[in-house]
């Protein structure tokens, strides 16, 4: 898997002055476009589109300083429709406009070419199981919140605190299948998973029952799920679990992520310092 990802990175660098289709990169990596975008973001720490843009502006910066082409020629070469658009993007990355950089020979920023390698630590194993699940519904309360990678998400905390206790009790009575009890459900996330991008967050339960009209509902079709278990400090355990699934488990197992909600069931210790977590990720087997 990592070898194929590195071939995709080579493809990007060979075609920085051409249109690069994520679907082609996914085919090189022998995966789906949806999974490729998510895997790249988890491994690289930035969205695929941002990496390609930064690589283009790195190479374009060298050409600006070389002075062999006009600024407009460089702009068009790297996919910008006007000199103004190129100048804005150039300044965001390099902190200086292309004209000023050429005149003064300014120091520019650089996005190194990425490659991926496997680091084998062997210090722990990941507990998981694969489950075939019939169609179900998520019933609860929904809010649109920003994504936070580390630490407590204040928007989610405020949202949950605003749900009436009797509403939570009614939700609990609807829970009739795994994962049982109150769960946190994330849906409609940006492919990039970038900090600050928004998602639909449900505080509710998984059910096959009829849902009262005052609760929000998410219909989830039948499919395959990978279920991961972890225990440790809260909230770091939850956030590191998602990272480890995409950086360690997927590259080592014959599955891709597929579109669908992610479900997290959390049981906190009495002092809320520790958590037992169960993360459900929708998956499909690879074609291998």
Percent of the chain exceeding pLDDT 70 equals 94
| Per-residue model confidence as pLDDT tens digits over 184-194 | 999 998 766 77
Tell me which residue of 248, 202, 205 sits closest to 39, measured CA to CA: 248
* Angle, CA 135 vertex, CA 189 and CA 161 arms, to 5°: 50
Q: What is the pLDDT of residue 288?
A: 52
Domains of the chain: 2-104 (1.10.10.60), 127-285 (3.20.80.10)
Give the pLDDT mean for 264-273: 88
Q: What is the pLDDT of residue 123?
A: 39
Instruction: Name the pTM for this structure.
Output: 0.72
| Per-residue model confidence as pLDDT tens digits over 72-89 | 999 999 999 999 999 999
Give the pLDDT mean for 245-266: 87
Q: What is the pLDDT of residue 210?
A: 92
| Per-residue model confidence as pLDDT tens digits over 16-50 | 999 999 999 999 998 889 889 888 887 887 889 99
Q: What is the pLDDT of residue 234?
A: 81
Q: What is the pLDDT of residue 126?
A: 59
Judged against a pLDDT cut of 50, whether residue 124 lies above it is answered with no
Q: What is the mean pLDDT of the chain?
A: 89
């Amino acid at each position: 898997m990592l070898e194929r990802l590195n071939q995709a990175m080579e493809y990007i660098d060979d075609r920085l002055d051409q249109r690069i289709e994520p679907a082609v990169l996914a085919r090189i990596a022998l995966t789906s476009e949806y999974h490729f975008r998510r895997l790249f973001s988890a491994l690289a720490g930035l969205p695929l589109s941002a990496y390609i843009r930064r690589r283009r502006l790195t190479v374009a910066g060298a050409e600006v300083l070389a002075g062999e082409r006009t600024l407009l020629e460089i702009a068009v070469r790297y996919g910008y429709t006007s000199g103004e658009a190129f100048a804005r993007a150039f300044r965001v990355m390099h902190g200086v406009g292309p004209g000023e950089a050429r005149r003064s020979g300014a120091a520019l920023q650089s996005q190194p070419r990425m490659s991926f390698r496997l680091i084998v630590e062997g210090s722990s194993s990941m507990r998981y199981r694969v489950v075939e699940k019939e169609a179900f519904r998520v019933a609860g309360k929904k809010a649109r919140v920003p994504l936070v990678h580390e630490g407590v998400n204040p928007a989610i905390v405020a949202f949950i605190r605003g749900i009436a206790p009797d509403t939570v009790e009614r939700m609990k009575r609807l829970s009739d299948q795994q994962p049982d009890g109150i769960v946190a459900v994330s849906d409609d996330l940006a492919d990039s998973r970038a900090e600050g991008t928004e998602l639909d967050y449900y505080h509710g339960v998984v059910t096959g029952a009829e849902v009262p009209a005052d609760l929000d509902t998410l219909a989830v079709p039948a499919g395959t799920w990978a279920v991961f278990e972890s225990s440790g400090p809260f909230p770091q355990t939850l956030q590191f679990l998602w990272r480890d699934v995409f950086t360690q488990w997927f590259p080592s197992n014959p599955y891709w992520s597929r579109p669908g909600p992610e479900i997290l069931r959390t049981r906190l210790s009495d002092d809320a310092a520790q958590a037992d977590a169960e993360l459900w990720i929708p998956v499909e087997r690879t074609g291998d």
